[in-house]
């Protein structure tokens, strides 16, 4: 009886030890699984937060905004401005429509005046309303006597006109009897009053250049 009771006692202790080992292994497995899941979630969150231009997809990322975060910079979108356009009424580009003939200076000034703009380009008289003065041509090598000046002009399209002879505004003129000579209002010297040695040749106005024509 004694030997039989001792063998049964040893067998009971063996089963208890085996059960404890199995329970310990199961608990270790659960702890390891929980640690792996926690590490995986941490890596996923850090990747989404650390990647430039990425935000959490939780519905509050402000996708409708124009600002985009890139690294340490923020890019903000702005509407594009059409090149060549401006609000300056003196900018001739504002009066040109692509595909249409280029407006003349006269047309631009007239439109500005109609709009009530009389400053800048609009302050000038429209081309053609103040024609150049016609007078005697003064050669470059002609020595002007005291009291006379060369008057330079240009056409409305910018062409130079040879100078004409005019009376200087700083002088008064008298005849041989000491009587004062009346000067024309425009101060242009007429042929009959030209100084000695001046060729009596009136200037010629060059024809206007058509701005719509293509240079050959």
The reported pLDDT for the residue numbered 79 is 52
The reported pLDDT for the residue numbered 102 is 75
Q: What does each C-alpha distance from 174 to 169, 190, 193, 200 come to in angstroms? A: 14, 16, 12, 22
8 Å CB contact between 110 and 125: no
pLDDT in tens, the chain (216 residues): 434 444 445 556 666 666 666 767 666 667 776 666 655 555 555 544 444 444 444 444 444 444 555 455 555 555 555 555 566 666 666 666 777 777 777 788 888 888 888 888 788 777 777 789 999 999 999 999 999 999 999 887 889 999 999 999 999 999 899 999 999 999 999 999 999 999 999 999 998 877 666 555
Where in the chain are the domains? Answer: 1-38, 92-123, 132-206
The reported pLDDT for the residue numbered 177 is 93
Burial (CB count within 10 angstroms: exposed 0-12, middle 13-18, buried 19+), residue 194: middle
pTM, two decimals, is 0.45
Radius of gyration of the chain (CA): 50
List, in order, residues 6 or more apart from 61 with CB less than 8 Å away. 55
The reported pLDDT for the residue numbered 160 is 93
């Amino acid at each position: 009886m004694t030997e039989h009771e001792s063998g049964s006692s040893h067998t009971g202790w063996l089963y208890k030890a085996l059960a404890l080992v199995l329970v310990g292994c199961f608990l270790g497995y659960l702890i390891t699984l929980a640690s792996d899941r926690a590490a995986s979630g941490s890596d996923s969150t850090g990747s989404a937060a650390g990647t430039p231009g990425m935000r959490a997809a939780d519905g509050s990322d402000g996708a409708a905004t124009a600002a985009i975060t890139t690294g340490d910079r923020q890019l903000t979108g702005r509407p594009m401005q059409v090149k060549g356009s401006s609000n300056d009424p003196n900018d001739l580009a504002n009066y040109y429509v692509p595909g249409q003939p280029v407006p003349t200076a006269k047309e631009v000034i007239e439109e500005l005046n109609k709009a009530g703009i009389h400053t800048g380009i609009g302050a000038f008289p429209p081309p053609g309303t103040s024609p150049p003065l016609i007078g005697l041509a003064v050669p470059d090598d002609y020595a002007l006597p005291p009291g006379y000046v060369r008057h330079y002009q240009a056409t409305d399209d910018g062409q130079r006109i040879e100078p004409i002879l005019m009376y200087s505004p700083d002088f008064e003129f008298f005849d041989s009897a000491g009587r004062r000579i009346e000067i024309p209002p425009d101060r242009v010297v007429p042929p009959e009053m030209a100084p000695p040695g001046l060729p009596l040749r009136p200037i010629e106005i060059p024809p206007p250049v058509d701005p719509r024509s293509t240079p050959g």
